[in-house]
A and B are shown apart, each in its own frame.
Chain A
Amino acid sequence: ELKVEQNPLFLSMQEGKNYTIYCNYSTTSDRLYWYRQDPGKSLESLFVLLSNGAVKQEGRLMASLDTKARLSTLHITAAVHDLSATYFCAVPLYNTDKLIFGTGTRLQVFP
């Protein structure tokens, strides 16, 4: 059974600070997705990581994937209030088109 865990579950951070969210998964996968969800809204796609060592950056967010360690990170640089949201990683279940979602990390950025 594929399990996807995120750490931390909740993160309160000050504007301007840096932090990293971790996503661990339990079985082999060669790709991983990151999404953002605002309260009461659906998912917004952030990153698609397609191979081992993949790194993608968009604004203050940078995501990476280590398929050997079964680990992805979402790094936040110089956080701003607009980044406050819940972030999910998701991993495809091997040989299916299903996505298994992580537990989610609720990020709150305060002044």
Chain B
Amino acid sequence: GAVVSQHPSRVICKSGTSVKIECRSLDFQATTMFWYRQFPKKSLMLMATSNEGSKATYEQGVEKDKFLINHASLTLSTLTVTSAHPEDSSFYICSASAIAGGLPDEQFFGPGTRLTVL
């Protein structure tokens, strides 16, 4: 149980284009989904928190117009990197916490999406 998927697992795009990453909770409904960014050999940095049907809450220093988050349902959140630049290249990981059962802050992590912007 508590499986989270991400799609795509790897994407390469040209500078200036937009890329959408999907995060799905496969066998549970997620109250909250989180988006993290991880640079090589570094820790995870929380980018934003999203709840179904409401606007995402972004962490300090994260541009909300660049990283668009939509949480359309209790099982799907999307992160769109708009007008991507090489410095946006990173490993993006989503996580989800369940509505019922488990701890309120226990998160289940997706497999990650490796974004490379040329």
Contact = CB atoms under 8 A, between A and B. Distances in A.
A40 B106 contact: no
A104 to B, nearest CB: 5
B114 A40 contact: yes
A97 B32 contact: yes
Given A48-B103, A92-B105, A42 B43 contact: no
A103 B93 contact: no
A106 interface: yes
A99 interface: yes
A97 B105 CA distance: 5
Contacts, number: 46
Interface string A81-104: 000000010001000111111111
Interface of B: 32, 34, 41-46, 49, 93, 97, 103-112, 114
Interface of A: 31, 33, 35, 40-43, 45, 48, 50, 88, 92, 96-104, 106
Given A50-B103, A103-B43, 11 more contacts: A31-B103, A40-B114, A41-B111, A42-B110, A42-B112, A97-B32, A97-B105, A98-B105, A99-B107, A101-B44, A106-B41
17 contacts: A31-B103, A31-B105, A35-B109, A41-B111, A41-B112, A42-B112, A43-B109, A45-B109, A88-B44, A97-B49, A97-B97, A98-B46, A99-B46, A99-B107, A101-B45, A104-B43, A106-B41
